[in-house]
Amino acid sequence: MELKNSTVLITGGTSGIGLEFVKQLSEQGATIIVTGRNLNALNETKKKFSHVHTFQSDVSNPKDIEQLYKHVTQQFPDLNIIINNAGLMRLIDLQDTSLDLENINREITTNLSGTIQMVHQFLPHLITKKSAAIVNVSSGIAFMSYSSAPIYSAAKAGVRAYTQALRLQLEHTNVKVFEMIPPGVNTIAVRLRKKGINLSDAKD
């Protein structure tokens, strides 16, 4: 796939792995669209990479995804790659009764449902392209659950299973499906160390 002439949408592209996607794809000459929930973070990303196009959008909100699809496909009809990178990881004690049912589900709605909804919304557009791709960011934790982040572990395992099924369903189309399993990143390691937890055996 020719990245130089590609138009790429990256969810959660304002920090960590997402921002690294922005950096490396910029070097390849791709047209880059970045989404995120935090407007300040989007503005900071725009300052660092003036050529990128930003949209405030929350992948856990179906209405946001519908609006994102409408605006992006109108303004960037050549869009041919989406990278589902937006993610949320929390350390959760499953015996903590202070978390209500909606709150306990946040990693699922962002990491798993968000990925599924983004693909479902954008797939009809991607299929029309001569060359297209979907990249879903998974985790090493999909293979080995991390007890301190149980909902995150379940969500990433779901992303992996969904991506495998998606790849099989699209194998006779022009849309390639990739699962990215990145190594451990500093943003998560630092967050856990502050809580006295060593993540030496887990990956994200």
Q: Which residues are catalytic?
A: 152
158 φ/ψ angles, rounded to the nearest 5 degrees = -65, -40
Token digits of residue 68: 């994102």
Q: Which residues of 123-132 are buried (b: 16+ CB within 10 A; e: fewer)?
A: bebbeebeeb
**Residues facing residue 180 across a β-bridge:** 137
Of 108, 104, 170, 109, nearest to 135 by C-alpha is 170
**What letter does residue 67 receive in the DSSP assignment?**
H
* Three-class DSSP labels, 112-130: HHHHHHHHHHHHHHHHCCC
Token digits of residue 59: 């992948």
Alpha-carbon dihedral 158, 161, 163, 169, rounded to 10 degrees: -130
Q: Burial of 4 by CB count in 10 Å (0-12 exposed, 13-18 middle, 19+ buried)?
A: exposed
Q: Burial of 136 by CB count in 10 Å (0-12 exposed, 13-18 middle, 19+ buried)?
A: buried
